[in-house]
Structure 1
Amino acid sequence: MTPVLLYGVPEGCSFGSIVALEWLGQPYRLCRIHMPEETQTDLYTRIAPVGETPVLITEDGRALTESMAILNHVAAHGLQMGLGHRQGSPGFDALNRTLAFLNTTFFAAYGPLWFALEHAQDPETHAALRRFGETQVRAAHLKLEALLGDAAWLSGERIGLADAYFAAIARWNDFHKVVDRSDFPKLQALYERVQQDPAVRFAHEIEAGREPSGAGGFRGHVSLEDVAAELGLTAAEPA
């Protein structure tokens, strides 16, 4: 089957996986998932028991979850294009180190802020979570600024998968407004550079609900029900 990426809106970290698939240039489809409503449905959790986005349905019908796993899957299919590196090579290690940092420290820093927004009803609890989240986000930015150093890109000598994933998460600060990214000039410059990439602009258009032409691999949207049918699932059957 033609691979399908189940991506989350609004502002899911799956944004990075859309960018990666665009760079890969091989045929793929997209399935738009509204968070958190659709990720909690019976049909969705039969496809992805973790109840989160993104999910990549591979050519052989496997449901691959977690952004880091999906990005490494794309990297392995794009070795000749420079998207990935031979396992065990310095490039491979550097990419995985950076993806791991983004996937844990940088991503997780926003956890208290999302929880405060979606679940904290008590004003004191909400304020405490906001304060904790701000501390975590600021610390994560400081560490990532140091990790970037004087390099132009997190992925190496050119824009790559780590930069795409960074762009997906870094924009959350524009929503929560807990730090001023200009306090981190290297990250601010990186963020601005990433926004100029055609695949990044394509992903923004997709999230906005438009249907851009892209680089040629995109084969349109399918519904969650269509994905389930291709996998042979129904609402009454286990995954």
Structure 2
Amino acid sequence: MSPILFYGVPEGCSFGSIVALEWLGEPYRLCRVQMPEEVSSDRFAPVNPVRETPTLMTADGRFLSESMAILGHIAERGISRGLGHRQGTAAFDQLNQMLAFLNTSLFSAFSPLFHVFEHEQDEASKAALLAFGRNQVGKAFGNLETLLNGRDWLLGGERPGIADAYFAGTARWNDFHKAVDWAAYPRVTALYQRLQQEPAVRFAHAIEEEHEVVSAGGFLGHISLDAVPARAAA
């Protein structure tokens, strides 16, 4: 059975996992999950009881959730393609360190901004949350600016990797929230713009926007959420 990635729209954090699957090059399918309506429904609960995306149904029928776990799974499958590294190596540790930074520092920095967007609050609370979120995004971008010194990609090398996929899906939220001025972070901006030229990143954008697109990886098409249980039991 081909893996199925359940990805959330609009602007879901599943974006990086789609990019990584394209780079992996193995057959996979996608299941589009509308947020917040569909992801919070009883129909999605069997896929992920926490009712969040992304979730990956692996080739052996297991459900695996959380971006870091999914990206780690894809990296392990892509060791021969340079996407991952053997456990116990320095490169393995460096990848996990960067993914952890992106998750705890960059991803979480946007949480106050999304809270303002998704929930009603008084003006004082709104202003405080916006100020806090913008400060956190600026701090995360500033740290990335330092880490990118002398590098084209987050972990160096001549090609993007799993960490860059996660960055591409998270950093784009700055375009939506206008949290910080890109120009203040030239290395971060250069990485972001460089990634926009990657076919896998363009593919992920097209998928989210429901545009016609040709996969450069192993994309086999979409599957509906209602069809998943039957496939999982097969």
TM over 0.5: yes
- Matching residue of 1:34: 34
Q: In 2, Cα distance between the equivalents of 1:35 and 1:148?
A: 33
**Structure-1-length-normalised TM-score:** 0.94
- Matching residue of 1:235: none
**Structure-2-length-normalised TM-score:** 0.96
Are residue 170 (structure 1) and residue 171 (structure 2) matched?
A: yes
Regions of 4+ moved over 6 Å: none
Tell me the alpha carbon deviations over residues 127-173 of structure 1, each in whole angstroms, 9 at most, x when there is no partner. 11111111111111111111222211013302111111101000101
Q: Provide the alpha-carbon RMSD of the alignment.
A: 1.3
Are residue 5 (structure 1) and residue 43 (structure 2) matched?
A: no
Tell me the alpha carbon deviations over residues 35-88 of structure 1, each in whole angstroms, 9 at most, x when there is no partner. 111111012122101211100000111110011111110111111110101111
3-state DSSP of counterpart to 2:45: helix
Q: In 2, Cα distance between the equivalents of 1:96 and 1:182?
A: 28
- Matching residue of 1:148: 148
1:231 positional shift: 2.5
- Matching residue of 1:55: 55
Aligned 8 A contact 2:6 2:32 in 1: yes
Q: In 2, Cα distance between the equivalents of 1:128 and 1:205?
A: 35
- Matching residue of 1:126: 126
How many residues are aligned here? 233
3-state DSSP of counterpart to 1:30: strand
Are residue 230 (structure 1) and residue 226 (structure 2) matched?
A: no
Q: In 2, Cα distance between the equivalents of 1:181 and 1:125?
A: 26
1:216 positional shift: 4.3
Q: Which runs of 5+ in 2 are unaligned?
A: none
The 5-angstrom pairing of residues 88-167 of structure 1 reads 88-157=88-157, 158-167=159-168
Q: In 2, Cα distance between the equivalents of 1:94 and 1:5?
A: 25
Tell me the alpha carbon deviations over residues 85-133 of structure 1, each in whole angstroms, 9 at most, x when there is no partner. 1111121111111011001111000010111111133222111111111
Aligned 8 A contact 1:43 1:228 in 2: no
Q: Which runs of 5+ in 1 are unaligned?
A: 233-239
Aligned 8 A contact 2:116 2:130 in 1: yes
Are residue 78 (structure 1) and residue 78 (structure 2) matched?
A: yes
Q: In 2, Cα distance between the equivalents of 1:211 and 1:95?
A: 33
Q: In 2, Cα distance between the equivalents of 1:113 and 1:228?
A: 35
Counterpart residue type for residue 72 of structure 2? N
CA 1:75–1:129: 2 relative to 1, 3 Å: same
